[in-house]
């Protein structure tokens, strides 16, 4: 438990530093965007490559992947049914709301939590791969069909996935781990050095983004939707993951804790990007991202106490 508390403390201290940077406008108005892009396009792929190249592939893709996939799909489906048939929202808005309740921030907060709280960045790899290779494209394909906007060809999704630097870094790392190949020191050392910038950049950018955020500030009849989506993401999703991992798959100890914590990650910022693109569910997406982002770390700390980790 001491290690977990220390991990959360480190995460929050760096987030707090980011809030101070934003409060004093030390990096200017574009600081969060620059840091986020640096982490996404450069540092995080390097970190994932370096970490996964040394990972045990059986532990990455066996039970954790089953929990990740089934937990996200069940949570999204349950929330879709709730919003569609109880709250009587339109079909496209129901799909977007389900996306808000089940798509996790696997990179900007997932990687730091995996490193400092779970002890290894490879714990977030199943979630990252599942979302980028299947879950997110599935949602976008459905929204494209429902809204008939920005159609993407059959080859569009694979090409979009292959252009994602996170996927590329993950793929190379997995290939190295699976084959046993090792990069020359002249190449591996710069990759390790660049990867070291990923977590500080992510957490600083995250902290900076919290300044000025005002969730639930819109009076448009969607506050209940937002609160329910937040509850599903931070309570129902990890709850479903716990039931599957513990009782269906017999997982326990640190593996169980890792499965539940990754399920409790906040809603991904990409959800709001998708909502803006399709012009549907924008308020729910934006406010759910903000609320889950603010409440995620305290929720994970509570989960750690409940699981006695």
> Over the chain, what is the mean pLDDT?
84
Q: For residues 221 and 280, what is the distance between their CA atoms, to the nearest angstrom? A: 14
Predicted local distance difference test score (pLDDT) of residue 111: 83
> Is 153's pLDDT higher than 60?
no
pLDDT digits (tens, 9 = 90+) for 259-285: 999 999 989 877 876 787 788 888 888
Predicted local distance difference test score (pLDDT) of residue 145: 77
> Is 150's pLDDT higher than 60?
no
CB-CB contact of 265 with 106 (8 Å)? yes
CB-CB contact of 132 with 148 (8 Å)? no
Predicted local distance difference test score (pLDDT) of residue 279: 82
CB-CB contact of 46 with 198 (8 Å)? yes
Q: For residues 234 and 222, what is the distance between their CA atoms, to the nearest angstrom? A: 18
Residues β-bridged to residue 104: 267
Task: Report the candidate in 41, 60, 64, 55 with the shortest Cα–Cα distance to residue 176.
Answer: 55
Predicted local distance difference test score (pLDDT) of residue 94: 94
> Is 91's pLDDT higher than 90?
yes
The encoded tokens of residue 229 equal: 């989506």
pLDDT tier, 249 (very low <50, low <70, confident <90, very high otherwise): very high
CB-CB contact of 261 with 241 (8 Å)? no
> Is 134's pLDDT higher than 70?
yes
> Is 5's pLDDT higher than 90?
no
Predicted local distance difference test score (pLDDT) of residue 161: 60
CB-CB contact of 98 with 79 (8 Å)? yes
> Is 20's pLDDT higher than 90?
yes
Predicted local distance difference test score (pLDDT) of residue 149: 55
Predicted local distance difference test score (pLDDT) of residue 162: 65
Q: For residues 17 and 237, what is the distance between their CA atoms, to the nearest angstrom? A: 30
Q: If you average pLDDT over residues 2-25, what whole number do you get? A: 80
The encoded tokens of residue 243 equal: 């039931």
Least confident interval from 64-68, 133-137, 216-220, 271-275? 216-220
Higher-confidence residue of 72 and 59: namely 72
Predicted local distance difference test score (pLDDT) of residue 301: 86
Measured over the CA atoms of residue 61, residue 67, residue 68 and residue 72, the dihedral's sign is: positive
The encoded tokens of residue 150 equal: 């920005």
Select 2-306's CATH number: 1.10.10, 1.20.1530, 1.20.950, 2.60.40. Answer: 1.20.1530
Least confident interval from 145-154, 162-171, 242-251? 145-154
Higher-confidence residue of 293 and 137: namely 293
Location of structure tokens 């992947």: 65
Higher-confidence residue of 7 and 275: namely 275
- Locate the domains of the chain by residue range: 2-306
Please provide the distance, in angstroms rounded to a whole number, between the alpha carbons at the two ends of the chain.
5
CB-CB contact of 245 with 256 (8 Å)? yes
- Of all residues in the chain, the percent with pLDDT exceeding 90 is 30
The encoded tokens of residue 290 equal: 């903000």
Burial class (CB in 10 A: 0-12, 13-18, 19+), 294: middle
Q: For residues 167 and 165, what is the distance between their CA atoms, to the nearest angstrom? A: 5
Q: For residues 274 and 268, what is the distance between their CA atoms, to the nearest angstrom? A: 10
| Torsion angle (degrees, nearest 10) of CA 197, 256, 299, 198 | 10
CB-CB contact of 163 with 155 (8 Å)? no
CB-CB contact of 113 with 11 (8 Å)? yes
What is the DSSP secondary structure assignment for residue 265, as one 8-state letter? P
| Torsion angle (degrees, nearest 10) of CA 157, 160, 162, 168 | -130
> Is 2's pLDDT higher than 70?
no
Q: For residues 258 and 265, what is the distance between their CA atoms, to the nearest angstrom? A: 11
Predicted local distance difference test score (pLDDT) of residue 156: 60
């Amino acid at each position: 438990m001491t290690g977990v508390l220390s991990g959360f403390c480190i995460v929050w201290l760096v987030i707090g530093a980011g809030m101070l940077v934003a409060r004093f406008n030390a990096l200017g108005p574009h600081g969060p965007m620059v840091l986020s892009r640096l982490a996404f396009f450069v540092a995080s792929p390097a970190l994932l490559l370096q970490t996964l190249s040394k990972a045990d592939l059986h532990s990455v893709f066996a039970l954790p992947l089953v929990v990740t996939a089934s937990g996200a799909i069940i949570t999204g489906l349950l929330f879709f049914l709730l919003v569609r048939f109880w709250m009587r929202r339109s079909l496209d808005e129901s799909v977007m709301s389900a996306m808000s309740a089940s798509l996790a921030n696997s990179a900007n907060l997932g990687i730091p939590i995996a490193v400092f709280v779970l002890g290894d960045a490879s714990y977030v790899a199943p979630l990252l791969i599942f979302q980028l290779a299947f879950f997110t494209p599935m949602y976008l394909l459905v929204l494209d069909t429902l809204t008939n906007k920005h159609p993407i060809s059959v080859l569009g999704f694979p090409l979009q996935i292959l252009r994602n630097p996170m996927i590329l870094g993950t793929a190379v790392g997995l290939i190295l781990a699976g084959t046993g190949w090792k990069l020359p020191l002249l190449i591996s050392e710069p990759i390790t050095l660049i990867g070291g910038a990923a977590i500080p950049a992510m957490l600083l950018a995250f902290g900076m983004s919290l300044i000025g955020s005002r969730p639930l500030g819109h009076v448009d009849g969607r506050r209940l939707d937002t609160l329910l989506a937040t509850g599903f993401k931070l309570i129902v999703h990890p709850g479903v993951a716990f039931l599957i991992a513990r009782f269906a798959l017999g997982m326990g100890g640190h593996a169980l804790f890792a499965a539940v914590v990754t399920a409790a990650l906040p809603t991904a910022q990409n959800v709001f990007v998708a909502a803006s693109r399709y012009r549907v569910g924008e308020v729910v997406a934006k406010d759910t991202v903000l609320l889950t982002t603010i409440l995620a770390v305290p929720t994970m700390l509570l989960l750690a106490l409940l699981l006695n980790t």
